Amino acid sequence: MKQRLLTLMVFSFILIVPGLAAAQLPDFTQLVKESAPAVVNIRARENADQTAQGQNMPNDELFRFFGIPNPGNPPNRDRVSGGTGFIISADGYILTNRHVVDGADKITVTMKDRRELDAEIIGEDEASDVAVLKVDAKNLPTLKLGSVNDLEIGEWVMAIGSPLSFENSVTKGIVSAKGRQIRGQQYIPYIQSDVPINRGNSGGPLINMAGEVVAINTLIFSNTGGYMGISFSIPIDVAMNVAYQ
């Protein structure tokens, strides 16, 4: 009788524990619904006669996202690349990475509702790799801005972007470290995370569970150019300080 009772207790414990573990995992569905409308896909067209920065990648483990090149573009024709951005004001100001739009002659922003808007570069900063764009529109959805000071290591975060040209893709992970220094960018205290990020995610938001942008997704550390579990993002405090300037 005691042995049967013990067996039932063990079986019940096995059934209950997975349920508890599942209950503790965060649900991102509402967060995506609220955040996705303010995230945009950016398509930058550059005349091929101009020298495109970033075409010759350095032989370095650190791989900077230069957007998504269009392999169908024949020689001596316009180059088209892509990335991500997010709306920070209802009257059309958008934050992204500078390398997403660097050298572009024409920039097109695509909203989640499939609207396409022409954008102009209001300001850009090479040192921080931050750029501010502007589209002619009103009453646009916006994202709330958080602070890196409130961000904890181990905290859940989410990214929305256009990796490999797949628009409005959502990935999640945790904050791995804060204040990372990377050669060539010594004064930017990068946020490191294990959120899956690939080419085309550049300029997109890293969002906490409160729906606040805490960083701009910018770099990965990789030997192959693909995601290997280490991603770097510019803290939103640094990015907004540059944007205001």
pLDDT confidence bin for 39, thresholds 50/70/90: very high
Q: According to CATH, where is 2.40.10.10 located in the chain?
A: 36-51+63-135, 143-244
Tell me the per-residue pLDDT of 197-223, one tens digit each, with 9 for 90 and over.
888 899 999 999 999 999 999 988 776
- Name the superfamily (CATH) of residues 36-51+63-135: Trypsin-like serine proteases (2.40.10.10)
Q: Which residue of the set 99, 128, 169, 233 is catalytic?
A: 99
Is 202 noted as a catalytic residue in this protein? yes
Q: Which residue of the set 35, 128, 162, 202 is catalytic?
A: 202
CATH assignment of 143-244?
A: 2.40.10.10
Residue 237 tokens, joined? 């405090």
DSSP string, 9-24: HHHHHHHHHHHHHHHH
Tell me the per-residue pLDDT of 133-188, one tens digit each, with 9 for 90 and over.
999 999 999 999 999 999 999 999 999 998 887 888 999 999 999 988 886 666 78
CA dihedral in degrees (169, 92, 30, 159; nearest 10)?
A: 40
- Specify the pLDDT at position 45: 87
Tell me the per-residue pLDDT of 44-98, one tens digit each, with 9 for 90 and over.
988 744 444 433 333 344 444 444 444 444 554 566 778 999 999 999 999 999 9
Q: Which residue of the set 129, 162, 169, 233 is catalytic?
A: 129
- Specify the pLDDT at position 46: 81
Is 233 noted as a catalytic residue in this protein? no
Q: Please state, as a whole number, how many other Cβ atoms lie within 10 Å of the Cβ of residue 8.
A: 10
Q: How far apart are CA 99 and CA 168, in angstroms?
A: 20
Strands 116-125 and 130-135: antiparallel
Q: Please state, as a whole number, how many other Cβ atoms lie within 10 Å of the Cβ of residue 93.
A: 16
Q: How far apart are CA 218 and CA 88, in angstroms?
A: 18
Q: How far apart are CA 177 and CA 191, in angstroms?
A: 6
Is 162 noted as a catalytic residue in this protein? no
Question: What's CA 89's distance to the chain center, in Å?
Answer: 18
- Specify the pLDDT at position 167: 85
